[in-house]
Structure formats: structure tokens, C-alpha cells
Amino acid sequence: MSMHTSLKQQAIDILRMNDRGGYTVPTARLYPYQWEWDSVFAALGFATFDRNRAWEEIETLFSGQWEDGMVPHIIFHKTDPDYFPGPEMWKSNTVPPSSGHSQPPVAASAMLTMMKTGGPEDRKRAEKLFEKLVAWHRWFHKYRDPDETGVVGIIHPWESGRDNCPDWDIGMEQITVPDDLGDLPRRDITHVDPSERPTAEQYNRYLAIVKFGHECKWDHLEIARNGPFFMVDPCVQFALMRGDRDLAELADEFGLPGIRDEAESWLKRAKEGCGSFWSEDVGGFVAKDLRSGTLSTAFTNASAMALYADAGDAAQQARLVREVTAILDCCTYGFPSWDPRDSQFESRRYWRGPIWSVVNYMIGTGLAEKGHGALAERLRGDTRRAVETSGFYEYFDPLTGEGLGGKLFTWTAAIHLAWAM
Ligand code: 9WN
């Protein structure tokens, strides 16, 4: 793209270019389908210049909702050989075909933001989707927290959206790779540098979980109880808590007190549940293996989302803000997906170090709301500078700002427009 075009115009052009008609792909070739949280953030970007197209993105996403309420993490609108694992591996038996688990539930928050910044037409579109949104939140509480502990689990690292974070090594180690899995025809490493992607061993385990899922016909209670992987993800937990809070506000707006009360009771239980994945050693909320009870060992960008959900008491929040500050002080660009002071930090490998615009947006929003304006501004500035330094990449090296992974990336462009500009 020409250097003479402003970054704002480049971001708009990227959203238009990745538009496949009613939905956007995260980037051409590497991710040729509709992804759940990518689409929701894309909508926030579209909302800055095309409200109709913004709502269309979320409407198309909900067109792939399962009967039980789940919104799948990938919707395969048109089969494309550029991505593995495609619909033939998931065997979802749905129309359109989709993957078999979800991703961070960020739609309620985006819909509330779009309604607050919009007019009567935005309100109408939000109201029309509201029933589907409620069904999705109910699904999360019922199938991802079957024992009503206030804490939801994820059944696959991909459900967190933070695929190969060291957090998941704990649960992944316990997975037995089936003998009949064969050689996986990976496509991602034909599009980007393998050193910036998950390893072969990780992919075998990812696919072992998919196999378990389709063999039990995506029976989500069975998967939560007996599946190969079940862990707490601070990102999904905090996105859901924030989403429940925003869902309650939407319900109030639409004159539905019963649903508002339901969402508030989920939130109350969740606030109590958060104590179970607080780590005093780390000074933050961390991932937790629900099978063994083991807590993860380092502060991540998901830990830094606690304020976005208003999780924790005053002492915990003060402590975690100290960690956020200390970590930002060791980076040129925040917020890293793994603590750079820890030996497992890898500045270029995907969710084991690099920074991601969408997570920065949620962390920054939480920091600003809780009175940490200077930290929030620092993060917003870093998100913008990373793009100024390298362009609209999928993710960035926190030490150098080098752009990594896919190029001309939808959510990086969307967050630039909606927040970082
Ligand atoms: C698996 C699309 C998605 C993001 C995830 C990111 C990556 C997929 C992959 O790309 O995951 O879902 O194949 O690596 O980790 O957060 O939604 O951009």
C-alpha cells in the first residue's frame, strides 16, 4: 500500500479488501473464513465509517449460531483449501459448517458500544439480535461452567483465542495424541514463517481435541466433564464478565428486567469465582487447569484484562496494576502476551510474547475506566506506534515493534480506527 495514503485510509481499505460479502476474513490466505472475535472487532472498525456494514458483520456471525446457542469460533461460509483444519475435520453437521467450540464472547460489549455511539437505527439492529446474544451467554454459563462455580472453562486452546500461550502447556501435556492422527497437512506454515507459529507437537494435540469433539458429536457437557482439555482462561472469563455486565445494560435499555437480573446474577457468581485463579506469586489472575488444579506461572495480557471486568478486590487490583507497570517498563511496545521477565518469553512467537491490538484495546479500556489514565494512554500510544513502525500486521514484537504473522490484518486495522488512532 502506498506510503502516501494515511494510516486511517489504509485501515479502511484493509477492512474493505477483507470483506467477503457480509463478513470479513481476518486476512487473505492465512485465515480465509469468518472468525468470531475477529468479526466483532471488525464491526467496531466498520462502525467508524459504515454503520450498516458494521451491523451486517455481527448479523452474519449470528447466522452461524448453533441451536444450543453457541456461536462457533470459525464459520466456513465457502470451503477454502488455504486453511487447515477445515470443515471436514470438525464435522459440525451444521449449516453453514463451522468449528465445534467458541471464542471470547465480546459481542455484547461491542453491541453496547455501537448502540451508545449510534442512533435509532443502531438501537433497532441491536434489539433484533438481542435474543440470540442472550442465548449465547446462557450457553457459556451452562456448558462451560456446568457446576455453577462462577468460572468458565475452555475446551481447546483455540477457544481462548490465545492459541499457543505457555498457559496451555499445562493442559496440553496431559493430552494423548491418537495413533491414527497421521501427518497433518498444515497450511499456516506455508503462509508465514514457522518460527512465528505453533509447533508440530502442539498441532497434533490441537487436532486430538477436535477428534474427541466430533467423535462425541460435540456433546459439550461430555467434553467439559471428560474431554482431553479443560482450563480457565482469564481472557474468556473477563470477556464474559464484561459481556454479562454489558448484556445487563442492554436488557435494561430494552425493558427486560428478567434478563438483566439473570445477567447480574451470573456476574455476582463470577466475581466470587475469580478468587480461585488468583496467584499471589504472580500478582495477578492466571490460567488454571481445571483437571489438576494447577495455576499458570506468569502474568499475561489476559491477566491485564482484569480491570476491564472489574475482577478482584481493591488490594488485588492495586497489586496487578503494579505488575502491569513493571512489565510495560521492560517493553518498547506493550502489552506482551507473556511476561518478558520469565524464561519462557519468546518475543516473536505468536501468543508467547508478541503484542496484539485487540487485547490492548480491552486492557486499555479497563485501565482508563478504573482511573489509570496514563497507563491506558501509554498502551494506546504503543498500539498506534506499532502500526506506524511496521504496518497493519497480525501481531508485533514487544521489544522492536517488528510486524509478525499475517499482513493487512482486519482486527489491527479495526482497532486502529476504533481506538488507537
Ligand atoms: C485458530 C484469526 C484467529 C484469531 C486467534 C488467533 C489465530 C487460529 C489459527 O487466528 O487462531 O483459531 O489458526 O491460528 O490465535 O485469536 O481469532 O485471526
pLDDT in tens, 84-120: 999 999 999 999 999 999 999 999 999 999 999 999 9
Alpha helices (runs of H) in 227-256, residue ranges in sequence order: 234-253
CA of 35 to the centre of ligand 1 (A): 8
Distance CA 81, CA 96 (A): 17
Of 18, 24, 35, 349, the residue with max ligand 1 atoms within 8 A of its CB, to mutate for a pocket test, comes to: 35
Gyration radius (Cα) of the chain, Å:
20
Beta bridge partners of 74: 35
> Is residue 218 left, alpha or beta, with left meaning phi > 0 and alpha meaning psi from -120 to 50?
left
Mean pLDDT computed over 152-172: 98
Distance CA 329, CA 396 (A): 17
**31 CB less than 6 Å from ligand 1?**
yes
**38 CB less than 6 Å from ligand 1?**
yes
Residues 6 or more apart from 125 whose CB is under 8 A from it? Answer: 55, 59
**161 CB less than 6 Å from ligand 1?**
yes
CA of 340 to the centre of ligand 1 (A): 22
DSSP 355: B
Of 24, 102, 158, the residue with max ligand 1 atoms within 8 A of its CB, to mutate for a pocket test, comes to: 158
**35 CB less than 6 Å from ligand 1?**
yes
SS3 label, residue 92: coil
Place of cell 466475581: 271
ipTM surpasses 0.90: yes
- At 395, phi and psi to the nearest 5? -155, 170
* Joined grid coordinates for residue 63: 447466522
* Joined grid coordinates for residue 330: 521492560
CA of 158 to the centre of ligand 1 (A): 7
| pLDDT tens readout for residues 165-223 | 999 999 999 999 998 888 899 999 999 999 989 999 999 999 999 999 999 999 999 99
CATH 1.10.1740.10 fits 7-282+289-420, yes or no: no
SS3 label, residue 101: coil
Nearest CA to ligand 1 atom 4: 161
| pLDDT tens readout for residues 331-367 | 999 999 999 999 999 999 999 999 999 999 999 999 9
Distance CA 418, CA 360 (A): 12
Nearest CA to ligand 1 atom 8: 158
